[in-house]
Amino acid sequence: MSLKSIVRELREMKDGIGNISRRGTERKHWSNRTRSHIVPDVALSDPIEQGQWANLPPELLLDIIRRVEESEASWPARSALLFCASVCKSWREITKEIVKTPEECGRLTFPISLKQPGPRESPIQCFIKRDRANSVYRLYFGMTPSEDERDKLLLSAKKIRRATSTDFVISFVADDFSRASNMYAGKLRSNFLGTKFSIHDCQPPSDAAIQQPGRLSRRFHAKQVSPRVPACNYRVATISYELNVLRARGPRRMHSAMHSIPLSSIQEGGSAPTPKSFPQSFDEKSFSGPLAIAKESAMDIISRSAVTATSQELLVLKNKAPRWHEQLQCWCLNFKGRVTVASVKNFQLVAAVDPSHNIPVAEQEKVILQFGKIGKDIFTMDYRYPLSAFQAFAICLSSFDTKPACE
């Protein structure tokens, strides 16, 4: 049987998962424009029943999945790997073994890829669409929007204004922003002035941190929490914008302290925390006994988190200083054609390092994240190692909040 025939049959098997009939395929066709192509409709932890494909010899199975991985390098064809991982446990384990992280292969495949650092060399190019009417921001994979509007959704966020702050709730899908949902990815929270932000992840930055209860803070305001949903928020970064008291001309000045990424990650031989999977069941780790931790002071939890985070020097990002163009009479940065509209929101982030850190100049000048406007409510976002798509998206969301004191 040819490779194309195998992939075709895998897709047919995937269509039958979860009692989804072929008749319902057309009804759900419209949702492909808004639901993530990275996140499968069926969780990878729920493979289908053992069938004719489960008893293949491991050597043959390894060769099949390796060929699929090499031939389907772009989306949506790369979704064939998700179908392979959904067949059964043995297929899933081999698929996870073959598919590398974005840092290693430069590709986004599984949902966990959005929480892993990007490639070290060329950045992953994405774009953001803003829906003003619903205060929703959607992150898509690709250089620019496609003509047929069938773009690959990665993440989405909804802006929620509160009395003293603003929250951006980040989700893996386009239409579910409940923090009690298993599609909840994290949030971005601002202070009253919109000058300081904190990024909270629904899971720890590395698998080893799951065993550290001091690094989590519970969502006390949720009335009900699903037992399969992590009722935790890990603060992974803080963003601060400098006040423009003198109303000086120029772009915003910002710094982003990445609490989950050490400075050593950009040094020679360094590495950034890379989660390999989502926590299977927080209820087994966090809710197996009486909820004694829930009565603990939130300030105690936050203070313990700060102690853990400061055990090693953190990576701090700063916006790259633009130059004033006399002929154009504006501040300019070289976005290499990825930004075409002048906006106060445009920025490029580089590492803020001290000369004593002995980091090469080329590494200091490397743009880790860039964000800019290309049209009405359309912005590009390009990120690379050591940031993940989730972290980069959250940092860009901070630029959308109103900041009268910084402009």
What would the pLDDT profile of 191-219 be if each residue is shown by its tens digit?
988 889 999 998 887 654 444 433 444 44
- Distance of alpha carbon 376 from the chain centroid: 24
CB under 8 Å to 316, separation ≥6 — which residues? 255, 256, 257, 258, 263, 351, 352
57 and 146 housed in the same domain: no
Query: What average pLDDT score do residues 153-173 get?
Result: 94
How is residue 19 annotated by DSSP? G
Residues 132 and 92 in one domain: no
Mean predicted lDDT score pLDDT of the chain: 76
Total number of domains constituting the chain: 2
The set of long-range contacts for 237-241, using a CB threshold of 8 Å and a minimum separation of 24, is 237/198, 237/199, 237/391, 237/394, 237/395, 238/196, 238/197, 238/198, 238/199, 239/196, 239/197, 239/198, 239/199, 239/395, 239/398, 240/195, 240/196, 240/197, 241/194, 241/195, 241/196, 241/398, 241/403, 241/406
What pLDDT digit, counting tens, does each position of 105-134 carry?
Answer: 999 999 999 999 999 989 999 999 999 999
Q: What pLDDT is attached to residue 240?
A: 94
Please tell me whether residues 162 and 72 are part of one structural domain: no
Q: Domain boundary residue among 33, 66, 99?
A: 99
Considering the domain boundaries, does residue 347 fall inside one? yes
Is 27 a residue whose pLDDT tops 60?
no
Is there a single domain that holds both residue 130 and residue 84?
A: no
Residue type, 20: I
**Does residue 72 fall inside a structural domain?**
yes
**Residue 324 forms part of a structural domain:** yes
Residue 222 forms part of a structural domain: no
* pLDDT tens per residue across span 248-271: 555 678 999 999 999 999 988 889
* Per-residue model confidence (pLDDT) at position 82: 86
3-state helix, strand, coil in the chain (%, to 5): 30, 25, 45
Same domain, 86 and 190: no
Could you tell me which of 43, 15, 58 has the C-alpha nearest to residue 172? Answer: 43
Higher pLDDT, residue 319 or 403 = 319
Tokens for 273, please give them. 């925390």
Domain shared by 326 and 187, yes or no: yes
CATH code where residue 196 lies: 3.20.90.10
User: Is the domain of 335 the same as that of 395?
Assistant: yes
Q: How far apart are CA 189 and CA 394, in angstroms?
A: 10
**Cβ proximity of 216 and 232 under 8 Å:** yes
Which of 97, 330, 309, 92 has its CA nearest to residue 209? Answer: 309
Residue that finishes a domain, picked among 30, 65, 99? 99
**pLDDT of 54:** 75
Do 244 and 172 fall into the same domain? yes
Examine the fold and report which residue of 66, 99, 132 is the final residue of a domain before the chain moves on. 99
Domain that holds residue 166: 124-205+230-270+312-406
For residues 337-357, average pLDDT: 89
Note whether 147 and 82 are same-domain residues: no
What is the reported pTM? 0.78
Exposure string for 98-128, b = 16+ CB within 10 A, e = fewer = bbebbbeebbbbbbbbbbbbbbbeebbebbb
Q: Tell me, what's the pLDDT at 83? A: 86
Q: What is the pLDDT of residue 198?
A: 96
Tell me whether residue 148 is in a domain: yes
317 and 235 co-located in one domain: yes
What pLDDT sits at residue 128?
96
Q: Does 350 map to a domain?
A: yes
Q: CA 37, CA 41: separation in Å to the nearest integer?
A: 9
Q: 186 with 73, same domain?
A: no
Are residues 65 and 199 located together in one domain of the fold? no
